[in-house]
Structure 1
Amino acid sequence: MKRELMNPNRIQVNSSYRNDNIGGRIVISLIMRTLLFIIFGAVLVGILALLGNSSPLHAAEKWWPFQAILANLVTFLILRSFLKQEGISYLSIFNYKKGRAKKDTLETLWLVIVGIAAGAIPLFLFSYLLLGTFTPPEVMFQKIPIWAAAIALILFPISNGLVETPTYIGYALPRIKARTGKLWLAIALSGLFLAFQHVALPLVFDGPYMLWRFLSFLPLAFILGFIFNKTNRLLPIAIAHFLMDLQLVVQLLLMTMK
């Protein structure tokens, strides 16, 4: 049964978000993607070791799109299961409504601009503060086979757009707010864990690098939470996220083709 919003300017809060069983699902939604990145990163390292690679951990770094794609698939299955237990369809969390195409397009374009600014500035700033250079590490832009880059171009941005912000912003945030009654805590926790997952994609066991990955995504993660609370519109956020991830793998493909 679909639950309609009573106030389109606030995040949706249902009484079912306060039941005793949902606390565990909230915790899992916050930590599962980081754990899945670690698990599938370790799987890639193991495969490369079995294939005789002398530096499997380093070699696995460039395969990060597939580390993410596999994690995204499992995330989707788990998130859909959680929503089903609450009597909510997966697509309903995007709050799609007919006749909003123009408004959604404008919101998406605005979010892309905000996302680029809130993502790029911390990226370079924390690179300088933590790594001593304004030029961020190129760990995620290592050459992979063309066929792999082509698959990543299609599957990574789509799968990431469908599960990343839906998990933290669409699922966890409103339920934390309902359980605690504190919007600031909901935005803080969902944003912190959204940013934190990036330390494990790819697996690079270097303290400054991991801290750089975490802090670089933190401002954008908080901003997305505030925007979602104001608009209760996950669809433009998810589409903007897809577009930003798309440009990332386009860069990877172009670099691979050189």
Structure 2
Amino acid sequence: MTGTPDPNSRTALQDRRARHLLVWSGPLLFLFARPAFAVVAQGLVAAICAARGSASAWRDAGAWFSVYGTLIDAGCLALLWWLTRKEGLSLRDLIGFERRKLGRDILLGLALIPPGLLFILGGIAASSLLIFGRVEGPQLSEPLPFIAALYAVLVWPLIWGFTEQMGYNGYLVPRLQVLAGRTWVAVAVVAFVWSFQHAVMPLSFDPAFMLHRALSSIPNALFMIVVYLRLRRLLPLAIAHWLMDGASTLSAF
């Protein structure tokens, strides 16, 4: 007995492209949606800070990134829901969840953490050395109230990790691979956009810091994309992403 065909597989995507259900407009719309939502969300928080009398509202808003980041995810999930419905899919189809593989996916997600950390820390070290001449660049990190900090550690990383993986790996990579007809194009474009988003999360208007944020993210973005293309399974990457972001946020406090 054969299993149910994966609706997010390359074969299924090629079939939807032939039936004009998969077209360039969807991936192009989503490409820079996440950075755009990030700037809008920070602007909303900055407006609140300004209304409360802050003299540096934009910078103060940036300190709340790990809280207002869920607004970014909400915008991305709404857009993904709309785009996948146009293809006759659901958000669940992007994850490819299979109950019988859950244990294996969890173990694989844990196994991806050590190499993921190597690419993250290596990227940060190389980028900061290149731009600042030292291994550590400046950070935009300020303490949050207890409840906000608790949310940032326990809730935000879970939503963030799954949404980011669904958007870049689950949605963009396989569709650009089919539309462009070349895997390397999909890898290069998504890695660039995925890395670029960090320059505006939060947006500091400091060119050196923004460049550092973007460049430092390239190695890990490439790693996650290559792993996804090899596995064609999103859950292990989402689990690793969630746990690494949670640990990173906790260490910042």
Q: Give TM-score scaled by structure 2 length.
A: 0.91
Work out whether 1:238 is the aligned partner of 2:222: no
Number of equivalences:
250
SS at match of 1:125: helix
Moved more, 234-243 or 84-93: 84-93
Partner residue in 1 for 2:206: 206
Work out whether 1:101 is the aligned partner of 2:116: no
Partner residue in 2 for 1:39: 40
- The whole-number CA distance in structure 2 between the counterparts of 1:12 and 1:95 is 13
- The whole-number CA distance in structure 2 between the counterparts of 1:11 and 1:222 is 23
Aligned-pair CA distance for 1:20: 6.9
Cα distance, 1:179–1:54 mapped onto 2, change above 3 Å: same
- The whole-number CA distance in structure 2 between the counterparts of 1:17 and 1:164 is 24
Letter in 1 for 2:235: L
Letter in 2 for 1:157: P
Cα distance, 1:6–1:37 mapped onto 2, change above 3 Å: closer
Partner residue in 2 for 1:77: 78
Aligned-pair CA distance for 1:26: 0.3
- The whole-number CA distance in structure 1 between the counterparts of 2:98 and 2:159 is 22
- The whole-number CA distance in structure 2 between the counterparts of 1:68 and 1:211 is 20
Partner residue in 2 for 1:67: 68
Aligned-pair CA distance for 1:145: 0.8
- The whole-number CA distance in structure 2 between the counterparts of 1:172 and 1:104 is 21
- The whole-number CA distance in structure 2 between the counterparts of 1:208 and 1:111 is 30
Letter in 1 for 2:204: V
- The whole-number CA distance in structure 2 between the counterparts of 1:3 and 1:212 is 44
How do residues 155-170 of structure 1 correspond to structure 2 at under 5 angstroms?
155-170=155-170
CA contact (8 A) 1:36 1:71 kept: yes
Letter in 1 for 2:166: P
Aligned-pair CA distance for 1:123: 0.6
Letter in 2 for 1:207: P
- The whole-number CA distance in structure 2 between the counterparts of 1:5 and 1:59 is 44
CA contact (8 A) 2:177 2:185 kept: yes
Aligned-pair CA distance for 1:107: 1.6
Partner residue in 2 for 1:56: 57
- Name structure 1 gaps, 5 residues minimum: none
How do residues 245-256 of structure 1 correspond to structure 2 at under 5 angstroms?
245-252=245-252, 255=253
Aligned-pair CA distance for 1:87: 1.1
Partner residue in 2 for 1:152: 152
- The whole-number CA distance in structure 2 between the counterparts of 1:184 and 1:74 is 28
Cα distance, 1:6–1:142 mapped onto 2, change above 3 Å: closer
SS at match of 1:100: helix
Cα distance, 1:91–1:35 mapped onto 2, change above 3 Å: same
Partner residue in 2 for 1:130: 131
Cα distance, 1:104–1:54 mapped onto 2, change above 3 Å: same
Moved more, 13-22 or 176-185: 13-22
4+ residue stretches of structure 1 with deviation over 6 A?
A: none
Q: Please give the root-mean-square deviation of Cα atoms over the aligned residues, in Å.
A: 2.2
Q: Give TM-score scaled by structure 1 length.
A: 0.90
